[in-house]
Chains A and B, each alone.
Chain A
């Protein structure tokens, strides 16, 4: 995967103005975006997925220009082939697990699945070990189960790139270690590059090949994760 981002966006609320200027490139399959809350991590990923629109700049994924303000390019979200797992998972509360995971298979107005598509969904549910939940609704699921549904749903669309916004923050600390291993296994199995947002240093250690540090709407550092000392430095940065 090759990602190139060079965007600017100004967000205004009643009380403050937040100025985002983000610039980084990467060709790693496991990229972790790390930084304190409010440093612009989510906004950047949402710009990549086409959920938010930068004021200006360029976004390229695998040589495909998804956004280029100068050239007037803004590929709609549905055509970007970028999977997004939201922090609160954003499952469809009115659909059961099958309906959630199979949502993108039929893109029409009614969205009914044919036999073949239902089979594909069942296979996906088995792969994620949630086949027994096929008829359950999101509100009946535990946090860990919801997360699996969200992942299965995002990967059902065979995205070129998977974005995860703090995928572990809503989980029990006991569960996190296991889910980190599962995430890595899933990434390898689907052979999909991923970008993970976190502010937990243990996620960095487990998930990252390369690390992008965010602070106050800027990228402060891009580095490979192979030295514990660097991680230590980062932890102290985090403490501060």
Chain B
């Protein structure tokens, strides 16, 4: 039973890890953009980026198939020119989970950036420090806790991702079957022991992550 659990567990951690990392980089960049620049369509962009949080995962999965499928407008181009497709691969699962996790990073980071007092950044500029320096030495350290909180939620969300992953990556044991999919399979097949074990395992991993992030998020100053 252990090896039936270890494979999906490792795959889940790998998928959630990469998805969170992608969501972190993209989410922070977009959050900084929308928090600091005002441009046409800013609120439309904000709404679009928040959409994965409120839409049913199946709707999202369908959108992803339309875009990334072998006949999709981006997926089709990739398939014809490079022979690459994300469909039914673990990278596809990463893609789906990253999109689902993105709003949590983005929302947290935007609120964190907006909470940074503009005068502390201005003070840094009058002291001769460049824009990049101000970002890495003032803005990011001050926004960091908010960003980290969003990132932890994003990781937890990516770990539990089910609907969009199922539609994009399928449910292939050993390749794209993450914990939540394995639990669904076990319940369908009447393997209650395996289902129980997987459920407890998932819960323990999530509790460990939340407790670890709680320690990281303690105020230092």
Chain A interface residues toward B at CB < 8 A:
46, 49-51, 76-80, 82-84, 86, 88, 90-94, 103-104, 107-111, 137, 139, 153-154, 156-157
Chain B interface residues toward A at CB < 8 A:
117, 119-120, 122-130, 132-133, 136-138, 141-142, 220-221
Q: Look across to chain A and name the residue whose beta carbon is closest to the beta carbon of B141.
A: A94
Q: How far is the CB of A80 from chain B (nearest CB, A)?
A: 7
Most buried by B among A51, A88, A137, A157: A51
**Which one, B119, B125, B127, B138, contacts A153 given CB within 8 A?**
B127
Q: Given A94-B141, A108-B133, A109-B133, are A139 and B123 also a contact pair (CB < 8 Å)?
A: no
Q: Look across to chain B and name the residue whose beta carbon is closest to the beta carbon of A86.
A: B119
**Which one, B120, B129, B133, B136, contacts A90 given CB within 8 A?**
B120
Q: B122 and A84: CB pair below 8 A?
A: yes
Bound-state CA distance A104–B126 (Å) is 9
Q: B125 and A78: CB pair below 8 A?
A: yes
A-B contact pairs, 28 of them (CB 8 A): A49-B122, A50-B126, A77-B122, A77-B126, A78-B126, A82-B126, A83-B126, A84-B122, A84-B126, A86-B122, A86-B123, A91-B120, A91-B123, A92-B138, A93-B120, A103-B127, A103-B137, A104-B124, A104-B128, A107-B128, A108-B133, A110-B136, A111-B129, A111-B137, A153-B123, A153-B127, A154-B127, A157-B127
Q: Given A94-B141, A94-B221, are A51 and B129 also a contact pair (CB < 8 Å)?
A: no
Task: Say what secondary structure dominates the interface of chain B.
Answer: helix
Bound-state CA distance A38–B160 (Å) is 53
Q: Look across to chain A and name the residue whose beta carbon is closest to the beta carbon of B138.
A: A92
Q: How far is the CB of A31 from chain B (nearest CB, A)?
A: 18
Q: B119 and A88: CB pair below 8 A?
A: yes
Contacts of A154 in B (CB 8 A): 126-127
Contacts of A107 in B (CB 8 A): 128-130, 133
**Which one, A90, A104, A139, A153, contacts B117 given CB within 8 A?**
A90
Q: B142 and A50: CB pair below 8 A?
A: no
Q: Given A93-B142, A111-B137, are A104 and B119 also a contact pair (CB < 8 Å)?
A: no
Q: B128 and A157: CB pair below 8 A?
A: yes
Q: Given A107-B133, A109-B132, A111-B137, are A77 and B125 also a contact pair (CB < 8 Å)?
A: yes
Q: Look across to chain A and name the residue whose beta carbon is closest to the beta carbon of B119.
A: A90
Q: A50 and B125: CB pair below 8 A?
A: yes
Q: Given A104-B129, A109-B132, are A90 and B221 also a contact pair (CB < 8 Å)?
A: no
Contacts of A103 in B (CB 8 A): 124, 127, 129, 137
Q: A109 and B124: CB pair below 8 A?
A: no
Q: How far is the CB of A105 from chain B (nearest CB, A)?
A: 9
Contacts of B124 in A (CB 8 A): 92, 103-104
Contacts of B137 in A (CB 8 A): 103, 109-111
Bound-state CA distance A33–B70 (Å) is 68
Bound-state CA distance A46–B221 (Å) is 29
Contacts of B142 in A (CB 8 A): 93-94
Q: A90 and B122: CB pair below 8 A?
A: yes
Q: How far is the CB of A111 from chain B (nearest CB, A)?
A: 5
Q: How far is the CB of A54 from chain B (nearest CB, A)?
A: 16
Contacts of A110 in B (CB 8 A): 136-137
Bound-state CA distance A86–B119 (Å) is 8
Bound-state CA distance A154–B119 (Å) is 14
Most buried by B among A49, A50, A77: A77
